[in-house]
Amino acid sequence: MKEDGFPGPTAAQAIEAGADDATVPAGQHPPRVEFVESCDLPTPWAVFRLHGFIDRDTGKEHVALTLGDFSDGTPVLARIHSECLTGDALFSRRCDCGAQLEEALKRIAAQGRGLVLYLRQEGRGIGLLNKIRAYRLQDAGADTVEANHALGFPADMRRYDICKPMLEHLGVSSLRLMTNNPRKPEALERFGIHVAERIPLIAGLNPANHRYLLTKRAKLGHLFAGYREEPED
- Would you name the residues annotated as active-site residues? 156, 158
Cβ contact 202:224 at 8 Å: yes
Instruction: Give the separation between CA 190 and CA 127, rounded to whole angstroms.
Output: 25
CB 78 within 8 A of CB 177: yes
C-alpha–C-alpha distance, residues 165 and 120, integer Å: 15
Burial track 10-37 (b if 16+ CB lie within 10 A, e otherwise): eeebeebbeebebbeebeeeebebeeee
Q: What would the 3-class secondary structure string for 118-148 be? A: EECCHHHHCCHHHHHHHHHHHHCCCCHHHHH
